[in-house]
Structure 1
Amino acid sequence: MPEYNAGKVTDYADGDRKVIVCGDKEVGVFRLGDEFYAWHNRCAHRAGPICQGRMMKRVLEPVAEDHTVRAMEYDESEINIVCPWHGYEFSIRTGAHQGNSQVRLRKADLTIRDGEIYVVLQ
């Protein structure tokens, strides 16, 4: 399986991302805390460049008993990536779409050796 160097672990601060060219594909590598995640740079909706979209906290809209929304809240523990084409939001940790968890980004495997991050494509 081909491996592509995505840089050193120390090149990524918390919340950083890089889009890596892996042959004829692009993969986004993300760091959240001490964890790394990698997703193919193709939105599950219309194949837009998802990994180049805005990263933001998950938006929550608590619904009151009268079915109104009075405020928005943000989930500090869940960071999403938002597709720049149509606004679809996916969890960086799981790849799941926030409105329909059956819709997911395509995961790329990562391995870390000697402080270097490698994207592994199958």
Structure 2
Amino acid sequence: MTGLQVRIAVADAPAAGEVRLLELDRHTIGLYRVGDQYHALADRCPHRGAPLCSAGRAVRGIALDHGIPTRGAGPALIRCPWHKWDFDISTGRCLVQPRLRVRRYRVERDGDDLIITLRHPTPEGAAGREPERAAFTP
């Protein structure tokens, strides 16, 4: 398997409390901002497969303090549209069933861009290849 990384301009990234969707290599990914950190999550609830990022919503007024939900200024949780289970955007962990986690993808800042890694390159893969440019879905 070769690596797959995409580059997105920070200027196009979501504001806190919003999600931007990307279609990448047959994957739908939701990009979130919590504080000054960006997080990329699979658009699939690990409980029953609901469209988590495209149909779920970020929970406002809740933050996590050492994993405990507390009142906060910005959203740190995403709520599944089917069963209303909440997931920590930063870790992917489910608050109802902590063993369940949403698949997360690494997000790194590179100057004015974000690089999202879907798969890591194998030694014979595309290591060192420049990430391709991606655009958000409308």
For Structure 1 versus Structure 2, the TM-score category normalised by the shorter chain is 0.7 to 0.9
1:30-88: CA deviations, max 9, x gaps?
111110111111101111111121111449xxxxxxxxxxxxx9521662101112222
Separation in structure 1 between the aligned mates of residue 9 and residue 35 of structure 2, nearest angstrom: 15
Counterpart of 1:104? Answer: 101
RMSD (Å), alpha carbons:
2.2
CA contact (8 A) 1:95 1:106 kept: yes
In the alignment, what sits opposite 2:125? none
Give the alignment's TM-score, normalised by structure 2: 0.68
Three-state SS of the structure 2 residue aligned to 1:121 is strand
Instruction: Tell me the equivalent position of 1:62.
Output: none
Aligned length: 108
**Partners of 2:114 and 2:15 in 1: CA distance:** 13
| Consecutive unaligned residues in structure 1, runs of 5 or more | 60-72
Greater relative contact order (Cα 8 A, min sep 6): structure 1 or 2?
2
The answer for unaligned runs of 5 or more in structure 2 is 64-68, 120-138
Larger CA Rg, structure 1 vs 2: 1
Residue in 1 that maps onto 2:11: 10
| Kept after mapping to 1: 8 A contact 2:18/2:58 | no
2:45 paired residue number: 43
Normalised by the size of structure 1, how large is the TM-score? 0.76
Alpha-carbon shift at residue 100 of structure 1 (Å): 2.1
Which residue type is aligned with residue 47 of structure 1?
A: G
